[in-house]
Amino acid sequence: MELTVGITGASGTIYAHKTLQLLAASGAVETINLIMSSTAATVAQVETGANLRDADLTKVNEWLGLSVDSKLVRLWRLDNLAAKPSSGSNKQAGMIIVPCSMGSLGAIASGAGTNLIHRAADVCLKEGRKLVLVPRETPYNAIHLENMLRLSRAGARILPASPGFYHRPKTIDELVEHFCNRILDQFDLPHSKKSEWTGDEVK
């Protein structure tokens, strides 16, 4: 399976990091087309201390805990509108934008995108492929909600970064991993089932 992952400048770099690690560990993903906005690098530095500004593939692989010569991730520049994810003829399963800023969400909803993240998302919509958007904002104003509704009607899956607690997480990592597993569920990708709801706890 080939997937595109976009990381934008909303808070929540930890979700992007864990999602990419889980995709890599799934064994079902052969190629990850990774696109990062410049603001995403700023947020990553503030929230996690990761230095992704002007990142090359070696730095990204190190960030994800992959071998430095791993070919799993393919890094694309934000301004490269000739990249593979910008064309519908590039067969892939879909795209995840995690986290998704309200600016990116609005640009995609309007169809007036100006960068590769916007274009790749538009391609998924026009080709009928899965597009999963993970907004991390609160509260939502009416424009945010209308844009999300518009995208949902166009075929996107809106997955707000709203983690559950029924698995009784003891660490932030457990909380984040449970939510990121829900992202993988959108593509039927294998992952740990230890936090999956079974109903057994309720008698």
How many secondary structure helices (H) and strands (E) does the chain include? 7, 6
pLDDT one-digit tens code per residue, 108-156: 999 988 999 999 999 999 999 999 999 999 999 999 999 999 999 999 9
- Residue 200: what pLDDT? 65
Q: What is the mean pLDDT of residues 51-71?
A: 90
pLDDT at site 201: 59
Order of strands across the sheet that contains 94-100 = 73-76, 31-36, 2-7, 94-100, 130-135, 157-158
Helix (H/G/I), strand (E/B), else coil: 52: coil
pLDDT at 190: 84
At 177 the pLDDT is 93
Q: Is pLDDT at 202 greater than 70 in this prediction? A: no
Q: Is the pLDDT of residue 57 over 70?
A: yes
Query: Is the predicted pLDDT of residue 159 greater than 90, yes or no?
Result: yes
Q: What is the pLDDT of residue 55?
A: 78
Contact (CB, 8 A) for 22 and 108: no
In order of start, what are the domains of the chain with their CATH numbers? 2-185 (3.40.50.1950)
pLDDT greater than 80 at residue 193: no
* pLDDT interval class at 41 (50, 70, 90): very high
Sign of the torsion angle spanned by Cα atoms 8, 187, 22, 4: negative
Instruction: Provide the 10 A C-beta neighbour count for residue 97.
Output: 30
Q: State the chain's mean pLDDT as an integer.
A: 92
28-42 burial code (b ≥16 CB/10 A, e <16): ebeebbbbbbeebbe
> What is the mean pLDDT of the segment spanning 84-109?
95
pLDDT at 195: 61
Query: Maximum distance among all alpha carbons in the chain?
Result: 56
